[in-house]
Every structure is written in C-alpha cells, then in structure tokens.
Amino acid sequence: MKSSFATTPQTQTDSRYINRELSWLEFNKRVLEQAYDKNVPLMERAKFLAITSSNLDEFIMVRVGSLKLQLEQNPLAHDPTSRTVTQQLREVITTCRELVHQQNSLYTSEIESALRESGIRRLTISDCNPLALQTVEQKLEELEAICSPQIVPENANFPLLQGLNLHLCVRLKRSSNTDDTKQVTNAPVEPFDDFAILPIGKAFPRTISIPTESGYDYVLIEDALVANIHRFFPGRDVLECIPFRLTRNADVELREDSAADLMVGMEEVLESRRRSRVIRLEYVAGTSEQVVSFLKKKMKLAKDDLYPIHGPIDLTYLFGLHALRGFEAIRDIHWPAQIPPKLDPAQSIFKNIADGDHLLVHPYESFDPVVRLIEEASTDKDVVAIKQVLYRTSKKSPIVSALKRAAQTGKYVSVIVELKARFDEARNIEWAREMERAGVQVIYGLHGLKTHAKVCIIVRREPNGIARYMHFGTGNYNEVTAKLYSDISFLTCNEELGTEATSFFNAVTGASQPRHLQEIAAAPNFLRPKLLSLIEQEKTRSEQGQKGEIIAKLNALVDPVIIEALYGASQAGVKIKLNIRGVCCLRPGVKGLSENITVISIVDRFLEHARILYFRHGGSPQVYISSADWMPRNLDRRIELLIPIHDHHCVQKLTETLRCYFKDNTNCWLMHPDGSYARIQSRDERYQSQHKLYINAQEAASSVKNAKHQTFEPHRPKTESGD
C-alpha cells in the first residue's frame, strides 16, 4: 500500500516564512512515509508507525494545546506567515486528522496482516483456543483485583482521568422504574442509561502474551476487557463498552515568579498538567451517539476535539512488538557501534584525551568512552572535581551513579539538573534528590531559562598543575538514546576551552554576569550575535568576489532573524546547504530571495539529532558543534553552547559527515519553496548517508585493528626483580 497523500503545500505562499506547526506536521508525514516504504523491513515499518503516533500525541499536547490557549487569550494574534490563531488551528486540525486516518488505515489494511504472515498475530477473544482463553482468564482475574469501575451519575462531576491512558466507557441499562426516571402522564417511559468508567492504566502491559508453538500470539488488554466487561457489573445489563483515550493540554509552564522553591514549583506544574483541559478524545469508530454525547458533554469538548479511530487506539503499543526477541528476518540488520579507533581501551581515558582531541559520531561510534570518562573520573585519585549539565538521562543512568559515587568519595561534584526538561521533569526531580543525598551540589537551572547545554568538565591534579578534561556534545547524557540518535561528542583537554568552559559553568551556577568568551559562544547573550557574524562574514566574502559557503545540520530552523540573515547571504551569492530534520520556516529556492539555499531532510533508521555548522571562511573552514537549534527559544530563552573544532582531523571528519548527507538518494527529502517535500530519487547507485557513516566507522575501526596486527610485539622475560 502506498501513502495516498503527498506532502501538502501551504496556502499563504506570498509569505517569506513557512508556518511552524504545518512544517512540523510535514516532518511527521515524512516519518510516516517510512512506515509505508516496503523497502524498509516490516518490524521497522511498525516502529515508524509507533513513532508517528507518539510524535502526534506530543504535538497535540503541546502545540495544539498552545494554539487553544492563544485562541482564548488573543485570537487576533498572527504568526510570521500572517495566519491568525483560528486559521492555524483549522489547518493544523485538518492535517492531524489526515495523519490519524493514514496511520490507522496503514495499520488495518497492511501492517497488521503482514505481521500476522510473519508470525506476530493479534487475536480476538473469538480466535482464542481453550489454552489461550485460560491465559486470558488469569489476566482478567488480576485485572478484576486491581481495576475498579466508577459509576458517573448524570449530574455528577466527571472523574479525573489521566491523559494518554486507555479507559473503557460502559453504558448500562437502567431500570425504567428507578427514582431518577420522571413519569409523565400519557407519555411513554424512556429509561435513562447509566454510564461507568473503567480506567485500564499502565499497571499491565498493553498485550497479553498467548502460548504458541511458533511466532508470537497476543490479545490486546482492552479487547479482553471489552469481551468480559460484564464481570465488573454483576446483575447489570451492559449495553455498550468502548475503549477511549483523552489528551490533556501539556502547555503548562512554571510561573517562576510565584515559585519560592523550584522543586516545589515543578511538582505543581506536573499536577497542573494532570488536571489540565482535555483537548482530544479518541474513541473506537462506530461508538453510539449516546456514548459520544456523554463523553463530549462531560469533558466539555467541541466537535473538532473528537477523533473516531478505525483500529486499535494508541499505536505506540507497536514499540512493544518491535522489542520482541527474534524475527530477525523482518528487522534492520544490526549495526553494532564501533569502538572509536584512536581511543585505546587499554589506556586511561585521560591519557587518550591528553594525546589529542577525539570526535565521535554516534551511534555509529560508541558512546561508551563518554560514560567511561565520567566513571573513571569518579574513582581516579587525581580527579578533584566534576562539573556537568544534565538535561535528560536514562532511567538507570550509569552517569548519575558515577556522579554519586564521586561525591561519596570526597570529590567536588557540581551538577546542573534542568528540572524544566519537558516530560522528563519527574525523573529529573528524582535524580536531583538522589544526588543531593549522595553529597552532590545540585543546581536546578536558572530563573527564566532552561539549561540545555551539553558539557562535562573533569578537573584533575597532574604533575604540571591542574588539567581540565572535557566532553562537549550535541545530545543528552543518555546511553540508551545514544544508540538511537545521531549525535556528536567531542573529547578534549584544550586549555583555552577548559578555561572558558569553567568560566561558563561558574557563571551559570553562581548566577553571575556571563562574560563574552573568545572561543565558546553561549546563549542567550552571545550565541545569536556569533551566528549572525559568521553568516555576515560569508556574505561579505561573496560580495567581494570570493566563494561563500555555509552548511548547517540542525533539528529545526524557526528564528526569523537568522532566516533573514540567510536570505541576505543567499542574495549575495553564498551557497547555503541546510540539513533540517524537522521544522523549517525558511523558504528555499525562491527567485530573488533564496535561490542559493537548498534544504533537505534525512529520515532513516536513526533520529538525526546532531547540530553541526560549517563556514568556508575563505578556504580555512570554521566548524562548530552546538546544543542549539536555530529557534527563538534556543537562542533567547535557553543556556546553550557553540563549540569550535580546531583539530585538523576532527574538522575533516565533521566536514565529510556534513557533506555525506547531501549525497543521499535513498532517505533524503528535498524541500520545495511552498513548504512541501519530495523524496530524492535517482537512477544512480543507491547512496544511504546513515549506512555510509556506519561503513566509515567500521573501516576506521578495522584499519586500527589491522595496524596493530602488523606490528610485532615480542614477549620479554621478567627481570630478576620481577619488574
């Protein structure tokens, strides 16, 4: 089955900008196209379908939620494309509905049947044999013990239900002679129905595994409950039982002026999000008008908030199927992360870094050296201090464990934990408290700003004095996502970078005035001016007859000031290549405005997440990595870093990585001036940038191994002293 929609041009093409929300939805369409692509292994197609579902959940919670708040507060406000809030909402909701339809159509018409043919079978209760029914019965007994239905009287408040959790709405027949039924003379008696809600919650996995001799059979937990709902209402007539899911507005921000304690303030944000307004209701298509009207009325929803679903609600359950062991024939071929060739595991990590800078391209090259740096620092007797920023990390983070261990052994450990990292607030609060108990000095970010920089500084006492070993990155300190996200790590003990990184860190923790640094540029004060200066330099060189060139890899390009600077550079003749994974509000290829700008987007097995910048600079390239996308929030409301890369080999590696993406003719999408995208297709030999980057990592690792094998190292006898 092929996708029946093409990427959609935006309506107001006279604007200099693309609407941010519609651009993001275009990105999710590109992800969905991976699920349609039969060249992608079936299990990965199911994963991409789950990703689009998860992406859309967050988009509706945050972006649609934000638009609905704007509609209440200032409905006449315009975005940079001159769209009103009402216009944006109308276009956004239309596109969201189209995406939901495409997701469910693909699942029901193709993915589910293909999985069945491959041995992964979703069963209904009527499909179950006696042994399968016995397994379901055991699960139902557990559910009965845990789940409690709640009757909702006609005039009572609706129970507080958790967003994005599955629930059942049960319609029960009510006797016509109850007190609540009003008798009207000479009029027929119309019995009212009772309604009850049964929260399913997340105490159980979504699937019930059924014993089978081959493959994997399962029953969805809601299907088992719907078929046996009478067990929860003995003596009552069940007229209808339908699964539903609600989405709440997650655009709830901390009002820091009113929060005396940031930790308490963030806990209040989490509670507010739990109670916020419902902005979407998903329910099984074919649900009766009585149930829909009941839910709509109780949650105070408009027609546009209703999403009837053909097929299972919440396709993120496919992540669980993707995690099943086996089924290798329908998976991507595994690409094990390579050990970076110049990092000798037999030597101390500090010796490795002292011998020269190291640039790692994840996930093709292992994230282990970054973890190893912090773990070695926690036990190294010469390390006196560790300073680090944590924005997001994993559930069982070895890095957090190492930081706690370092503090417990008497090292000075100072960590900035960003409590305002959206949807990771609860985990970060937990980590902050654990580290505090271990003796770590924890700073909860800055007032009015999110700390999004990726930096770790290790201070070590050495014979020649204090040395600083640093990691700068484009991604989070999360060893799990480092296997799934394409990111850059830079390991160095450069003295100038060490001095500036320490100055930056101390300014953040000490709430002091940040200084203008020579090498590092930090947002919100100095990053935007630095970027504008770099763009202006290329423009000036081009106006003087030199070759101007800019290549940038980012997740998002939204900032109007940066976009205007790029337009100006394009008009001066600068060749600009942009690899923007998601939102891009710049219009490329517009005559007289941006004809020298090309925008591509790579959607492949790994999530593109690295921020890499290249400026030709008259033939002496200036290359940077950054934690920041080019968005107002990153440049104006976050603590971000831009790090220069000077080492020749590291510069060459980054430049080759950047250029590699623009050769892709397999999973590369070209952006058109109207905001639509077309997949690049070529009759040339297939070139897949992510595969090429992995091959590069493999070849580099192999070359080092081969070099070692070609070096003869004789065993020498021990001396008499045994040394």
* Percent of the chain residues topping a pLDDT of 70: 88
| Cα gap 257→269, rounded to integer Å | 14
pLDDT of res. 217: 97
pLDDT of res. 250: 79
pLDDT of res. 11: 46
Say yes or no: 319 and 457 in one domain.
no
Q: Could you tell me the sign of the dihedral formed by the alpha carbons of 306, 157, 223, 34, in that order?
A: positive
Q: 3-state DSSP call for residue 118?
A: coil
Q: Which domain holds residue 548?
A: 521-704
In this prediction, residues 266-273 reach a mean pLDDT of 50
> Is residue 340 included in any domain, yes or no?
no
* 171-185, 283-297, 637-651: range with lowest mean pLDDT: 171-185
Contact indicator for 313, 223 with CB cutoff of 8 Å: no
Residue 390 has pLDDT above 70, yes or no: yes
Query: ∠ at Cα 47 (92, 55), nearest 5°?
Result: 25
pLDDT tens track for 542-555: 999 999 999 999 99
Count other C-beta atoms under 10 Å from residue 423's C-beta: 13
> Is residue 25 included in any domain, yes or no?
yes
Say yes or no: 683 and 604 in one domain.
yes
Comparison of pLDDT for 419 and 113, the residue scoring more: 113
Q: Which residues of 531-552 are buried (b: 16+ CB within 10 A; e: fewer)?
A: beebbebbbebbeeeeebbbbb
pLDDT band at 516 (very low <50, low <70, confident <90, very high): confident
Residue 439 has pLDDT above 70, yes or no: yes
pLDDT of res. 316: 96
The token duo for 215 is: 């493959």
Instruction: State the SS3 of 183-240.
Output: CCCCCCCCCCEEEEEEECCCCCCCEEEECCCCCEEEEEHHHHHHHCHHHHCCCCCEEE
**Please, what is the average pLDDT of the chain?**
89
Say yes or no: 146 and 48 in one domain.
no
Say yes or no: 317 and 295 in one domain.
no
> Is residue 542 included in any domain, yes or no?
yes
Contact indicator for 378, 406 with CB cutoff of 8 Å: yes
CATH number, domain of 582, equals 3.30.870.10
Catalytically active residues, by annotation: 452
pLDDT of res. 112: 97
In this prediction, residues 580-600 reach a mean pLDDT of 97
| Cα gap 262→331, rounded to integer Å | 44
Residue 386 has pLDDT above 90, yes or no: yes
In this prediction, residues 559-585 reach a mean pLDDT of 98
* 38-42, 392-396, 495-499: range with lowest mean pLDDT: 392-396
Instruction: State the SS3 of 392-424.
Output: CCCCCCHHHHHHHHHHHCCCEEEEEECCCCCCC
Residue that terminates a domain, selected from 509, 540, 575: 509
pLDDT tens track for 15-25: 899 999 999 99
Contact indicator for 440, 404 with CB cutoff of 8 Å: yes
Say yes or no: 565 and 667 in one domain.
yes
Say yes or no: 266 and 376 in one domain.
no
Non-local (6+) Cβ contacts of 275 within 8 A are 160, 248
CATH number, domain of 279, equals 3.30.1840.10
pLDDT band at 1 (very low <50, low <70, confident <90, very high): low
pLDDT of res. 185: 43
> Is residue 407 included in any domain, yes or no?
yes
Say yes or no: 477 and 601 in one domain.
no
Residue 10 has pLDDT above 60, yes or no: no
Of 532, 510, 509, 536, nearest to 521 by C-alpha is: 532
Say yes or no: 79 and 164 in one domain.
no
pLDDT tens track for 323-377: 999 999 999 999 999 998 889 988 999 999 999 999 999 999 999 999 999 999 9
> Is residue 342 included in any domain, yes or no?
no
In this prediction, residues 657-678 reach a mean pLDDT of 97
pLDDT of res. 220: 97
pLDDT band at 712 (very low <50, low <70, confident <90, very high): low
Say yes or no: 207 and 220 in one domain.
yes
Say yes or no: 358 and 437 in one domain.
yes
Q: Could you tell me the sign of the dihedral formed by the alpha carbons of 634, 640, 646, 652, in that order?
A: negative
Residue 260 has pLDDT above 70, yes or no: no
Q: 3-state DSSP call for residue 437?
A: helix
The token duo for 45 is: 């197609």
pLDDT band at 711 (very low <50, low <70, confident <90, very high): low
In this prediction, residues 208-232 reach a mean pLDDT of 96
Comparison of pLDDT for 251 and 634, the residue scoring more: 634
Q: 3-state DSSP call for residue 6?
A: coil
Say yes or no: 526 and 663 in one domain.
yes
Of 69, 58, 70, 59, nearest to 22 by C-alpha is: 59
pLDDT of res. 23: 97
pLDDT of res. 714: 61
Residue 708 has pLDDT above 60, yes or no: no
Cα separation values, 39 from 603, 682, 691, Å: 14, 15, 15
Residue 306 has pLDDT above 70, yes or no: yes
Question: pTM of the entire structure?
Answer: 0.90
> Is residue 515 included in any domain, yes or no?
no
Non-local (6+) Cβ contacts of 400 within 8 A are 390, 393, 431, 434, 435
Say yes or no: 546 and 660 in one domain.
yes
| Cα gap 284→287, rounded to integer Å | 6
199-204 long-range contacts (CB < 8 A, ≥24 apart) are 199/147, 199/150, 199/161, 199/162, 199/165, 199/167, 200/147, 200/165, 200/166, 200/167, 200/168, 200/225, 200/243, 201/147, 201/162, 201/165, 201/166, 202/165, 203/146, 204/139, 204/142, 204/143, 204/146
> Is residue 138 included in any domain, yes or no?
yes
Q: Which residue reads 């059942």 in tokens?
A: 168
CATH number, domain of 103, equals 1.20.58.310
The token duo for 110 is: 């193709």
Total domain count, the chain? 4
